[in-house]
Chain A
Amino acid sequence: MSTFSTQLTPELHNMSRSIAECAKAAGLDFYDTIFELVDHKELNAIAAYHGFPSRYPHWRWGMSFDRLAKTYRFGLSAIYELVVNTDPSYAYLMRANPLVLQKTVMAHVYGHVDFFKNNYWFSRTNRKMLDQAAHHAGVVRKFIDRYGQEEVEGFIDICLCIDNLIDIHAPFKVTPKHDHYTKEPNVQGPSKLQAKKYMDNYVNPKAFLEAQQESLKKQRDTQESFPASPQRDILAFLGQHAPLKDWQKRILGIIRDEAYYFAPQAQTKIINEGWASYWHSKIMTELHPLCDSEIIDFCDLHSGVVAEQGDQINPYRLGIELLRHVKKRWDEGKYGLDYISIDDPKKRKERIRFTGQGEAKLFEIRKWHNDVTFVDEFLDEDFCHEHKFLIYRYNPRNQKRVIFSRDFSKIKKKLLDQITNLGQPIIEIVDANYKNRGELLLCHKDTGRDLKETHIEGTLKALHKLWTRPVHITTHVNSEAKKCSFDGQSYDTVKL
């Protein structure tokens, strides 16, 4: 517990006010933002709790804290800032950071909060999540008191094995109300035409009746297929249909709520960081100029944040550069059919019609786009070459990374693959009454990437603990279709 007050010092407070005014004047529109001043230990703890001071008890927070604390103490990395998507928004500043860093972080934070408030993909998130998370913590603590730590924590572990199996678009879908009782399944045989007994064989021929019977049966089967269409929101499905106790359902619901709350952040990593970096850079250097003694420190800091990492895509870098690229294009009128149809990159470069639409376009992007749509729409060939994107091959034996391709379409496809569905495999529940024995069948959609093989068995076991009947998943290894199953006793795989 801190012995300091976490209120900002007057100096920092004034600074946050003036930066906020400056950001508002530039068109940013954010929730009230409360800055808390904390030391590194608190910051690491809050970061481990994903920004919420109160989370349900679980060892994995301890694990990320352990990691953060160690990397900080061993001098490997430090967290600069942390901001939470709530209204009012909370952001944390580290006490030991120099002033120029605090300023930059504030400007960066206002960029994030503006994004949280205005971006469509965040529109369904709970802005009172701080209270919600604390409430979840209370509920889980109550269960722990009643059922014991081992029991509850063990169940949370199981839920965490599948907490990536959500449908990121679910919050935006309007689900039609389903009334199970409107359609009485036709249990009788096919309807017969009325006929006298001796004419019956002719009016209702046997072969026809049998064919009718057959098609009815088929119809019934499809009606009864459960779920009626493949389900992406596996957490919700299990919460409704798995034989769970009430407290287990509640915990599964909590895990699901929190997974959905965090999904938009993973969904907009590139664009969100890009937006915030664009604004901290603009605010610091143009709108709210630093004094001479700070400018070098700022440049050092900024270049560190957007540094090229080589083997990984730095979301900060990709985000800010792509936004700047778009701004430049729309400032210079490089859009529209006549621009796109120019094939020669040189001519494309030379065709300039000053329209000054750049910043307006950026605000439009911040409103509607997520990483996938942003990259898909705006990462063009010119940008790809200018920023030296490439595909490399990693050889684990000699730990070498060799440049494999600089082909634009391949790079873009690969990049989109990496961020589609938050970088998680697309998995659906296809049949919850598989083999008509109440077994669960999942299907992993083939997008060219294989599942981590060593994890399949463990995840199936977790699923089995929830579903209690045998569970299966169809997937593919080295483009060969495979079905992996766990029936409660043993795990096995069959080629399909």
Chain B
Amino acid sequence: MFVNMDADHSRFKKIIRGRVKSDLKGYITRGNLVTRLHQGGGRKQRVSIPLPSIELPRFAYGQPGENGSGTEEVGQGKGNVGDELKVAPGEGDKPGQGGKPSDKESEKVLEDAITLEELAELLGEELELPRIEDKGNKASLHKQRKSYSGIASQGPDSLKHFKRTYRTALKRSLASGIYDPLKPPVVIPIREDQRYRSFHVQEQPVSQAAIIYMMDVSGSMGEEQKELVRLSGFWLDTWLTSQYKDLERRFIIHDATAKVVDEKVFYRTKESGGTLISSAYRKAVEVIDKEFPADEWNIYLFHFSDGDNWSGNDTEECLHLLESVLLPAANLFGYGQTESRYGSGQFYGELNRRFGSEEKVIIRNMTHRDDIIDTLKAFLGTGR
């Protein structure tokens, strides 16, 4: 059986990414697949994965619940009139059925959830992310690792190497003439024949990474904006975790002053007040100095803000901090600007003017959830 889907599949992907056939752009829908993610200890978290599709217009009936179409459907189940209908688990999130009923196929909802590694791999595949380049000079730290690659004549029984023991015993019995090929083979190992696995200690260079997330929590950042940051943060984490064995994360929130907080606080805090972005950058410098010396760590800085810095002086200060300290230390500086409800978001322009051509600096606007994918691709697509 020979089926070649590659051409059609890559054609579809190209259309989705807007590289060809821009006339179909209006028909692209971005649904979600919802699956569960293993978090260890049997805990599962729901993750939604974008599932873009192109829905060509047709004369067709609307789905239930859509505007202008019937909202009554036939179902099956228990309950009295007026009760809420119970729906089989997992079905509620079903994305809209594709156009044509295809050939005969039975589907079954599988019970398995995926692991974080698989998720990261899929993300990488989906966004065509490059693996992060190895930076030899940053691997100054070494970790000791035991590798069971040797054989010793002494050791605990639990490490006994049966095959090697048997081989030695066979060799000995052959050499000493005990072994008789005509009789049923009996090989009895003696004390000296015993072989055990043994380990060597290996020094392994470790590349370690630190992510410093900075978020503007001034009054102008709304819930939707924070949700954007939270979602982006989750995916950034997922990808970088798959790339580095040791990943440290620090969270800095700022309005006019900055502080280091834990993850929960980072995503939940609702502050008010003005914005001095430099406070966050100064804090980041502090954290790097104290915890993550730049020659040993791969440092990733991500900053999310609505770009409403209070004063021009402060912006100048930010740019200076970036240029002199942060950028030389970091692998990547990603700036995602959410839409500002009040101000001008002028920080975006300032950054762009100064660092627009700098490879390490990625600047993105995020106004809608659909932008998350593009932002991720931009932030991580450099392979730095």
B: residues with CB less than 8 A from A are 1-5, 7-13, 15, 20-21, 23-24, 26-27, 33, 35-36, 49, 51, 53-54, 56-88, 90-92, 98, 100-114, 118, 122
Listed from nearest, the 10 A-B pairs whose CB atoms lie closest are A458-B57, A62-B12, A62-B8, A396-B65, A62-B9, A310-B87, A45-B5, A455-B57, A401-B85, A75-B112
Interface SS of B by simple majority: loop
Is B108's CB under 8 angstroms from A67's CB?
no
A418 CB contact (under 8 Å) in B58, B74, B82, B86: B74
The closest CB in chain A to the CB of B101 belongs to A266
Q: A157-B56, A458-B27 are in contact. Are A59 and B12 (CB under 8 A)?
A: yes
Is A459's CB under 8 angstroms from B58's CB?
yes
- Tell me the complex Cα distance, A404–B87, Å: 15
Q: Which residues of B contact A314 (CB under 8 A)?
A: 76
> Is A351's CB within 8 Å of the partner chain B?
no
Is B3's CB under 8 angstroms from A313's CB?
no
Is A455's CB under 8 angstroms from B85's CB?
no
Closest Cβ of chain B to A378, distance in Å, is: 16
A262-293: CB near B (< 8 Å → 1, else 0) gives 10011001001100100000000000000000
Q: Which residues of A contact B90 (CB under 8 A)?
A: 76
Is A411's CB under 8 angstroms from B74's CB?
yes
Interface SS of A by simple majority: mixed
B77 CB contact (under 8 Å) in A42, A47, A81, A388: A388
A414 CB contact (under 8 Å) in B54, B63, B74, B109: B74
Is B51's CB under 8 angstroms from A70's CB?
yes
- Tell me the complex Cα distance, A461–B84, Å: 41
Residue among B63, B73, B101 with the highest chain A CB neighbour number at 10 A: B73
- Tell me the complex Cα distance, A161–B27, Å: 12
Is B8's CB under 8 angstroms from A61's CB?
yes
> Is A423's CB within 8 Å of the partner chain B?
yes
Q: A450-B69, A477-B68 are in contact. Are A272 and B110 (CB under 8 A)?
A: no
- Tell me the complex Cα distance, A423–B62, Å: 11
Q: Which residues of A contact B7 (CB under 8 A)?
A: 57, 62
Q: Which residues of A contact B54 (CB under 8 A)?
A: 59-60, 63
Q: Which residues of A contact B67 (CB under 8 A)?
A: 453
Closest Cβ of chain A to B109, distance in Å, is: 6
A444 CB contact (under 8 Å) in B35, B59, B118: B59
Is A310's CB under 8 angstroms from B77's CB?
yes
- Tell me the complex Cα distance, A262–B104, Å: 11
Q: A65-B8, A75-B114, A457-B57 are in contact. Are A391 and B73 (CB under 8 A)?
A: yes
B68 CB contact (under 8 Å) in A47, A316, A453: A453
Q: Which residues of B contact A6 (CB under 8 A)?
A: 1
Is B74's CB under 8 angstroms from A403's CB?
no
- Tell me the complex Cα distance, A3–B66, Å: 47
> Is A84's CB within 8 Å of the partner chain B?
yes
Q: Which residues of A contact B76 (CB under 8 A)?
A: 308-310, 313-314, 317, 387-390
Closest Cβ of chain B to A252, distance in Å, is: 15
What is the total of A-B residue contacts with beta carbons within 8 Å? 305
Give 6 A-B contacts (CB < 8 Å), ordered by A residue: A66-B13, A153-B21, A387-B76, A388-B78, A399-B92, A402-B84
A: residues with CB less than 8 A from B are 1-2, 6, 36, 38, 42, 45-51, 53, 57-67, 70-71, 73-85, 108, 112, 150, 153-154, 157, 160-165, 262, 265-266, 269, 272-273, 276, 301, 304-305, 307-314, 316-317, 387-396, 399-406, 411, 414-415, 418, 422-425, 427, 444, 448-459, 461-462, 473, 477-478
Is A401's CB under 8 angstroms from B70's CB?
no
- Tell me the complex Cα distance, A71–B51, Å: 10
Q: Which residues of B contact A161 (CB under 8 A)?
A: 56-58
Q: Which residues of A contact B104 (CB under 8 A)?
A: 81-83, 112, 265, 272-273, 276
Q: Which residues of A contact B72 (CB under 8 A)?
A: 391-394, 404, 414
Is B62's CB under 8 angstroms from A2's CB?
no
- Tell me the complex Cα distance, A48–B111, Å: 23
The closest CB in chain B to the CB of A153 belongs to B21
- Tell me the complex Cα distance, A7–B64, Å: 45
A425 CB contact (under 8 Å) in B61, B85, B92: B61
A1 CB contact (under 8 Å) in B2, B106, B114: B2
- Tell me the complex Cα distance, A150–B22, Å: 11
The closest CB in chain B to the CB of A71 belongs to B33
Residue among B21, B59, B72 with the highest chain A CB neighbour number at 10 A: B59
The closest CB in chain A to the CB of B10 belongs to A62
Q: Which residues of B contact A164 (CB under 8 A)?
A: 58-60, 100
- Tell me the complex Cα distance, A164–B98, Å: 13
The closest CB in chain B to the CB of A422 belongs to B101
Q: Which residues of B contact A163 (CB under 8 A)?
A: 58
The closest CB in chain B to the CB of A461 belongs to B57
- Tell me the complex Cα distance, A404–B98, Å: 27
A67 CB contact (under 8 Å) in B1, B4, B53, B110: B53
Is A61's CB under 8 angstroms from B60's CB?
no
- Tell me the complex Cα distance, A142–B117, Å: 44
The closest CB in chain A to the CB of B65 belongs to A396
A59 CB contact (under 8 Å) in B4, B11, B87, B102: B11
The closest CB in chain A to the CB of B126 belongs to A70
- Tell me the complex Cα distance, A31–B292, Å: 71
The closest CB in chain A to the CB of B62 belongs to A452
- Tell me the complex Cα distance, A65–B12, Å: 10
- Tell me the complex Cα distance, A163–B76, Å: 31
Is A449's CB under 8 angstroms from B109's CB?
no
The closest CB in chain A to the CB of B26 belongs to A458
Closest Cβ of chain A to B117, distance in Å, is: 13
Q: A59-B11, A66-B9, A75-B35 are in contact. Are A82 and B57 (CB under 8 A)?
A: no
Q: Which residues of A contact B77 (CB under 8 A)?
A: 308, 310, 388, 390, 403
- Tell me the complex Cα distance, A442–B241, Å: 57
- Tell me the complex Cα distance, A309–B122, Å: 29
Q: Which residues of B contact A403 (CB under 8 A)?
A: 75, 77, 79-85
Is B59's CB under 8 angstroms from A456's CB?
yes
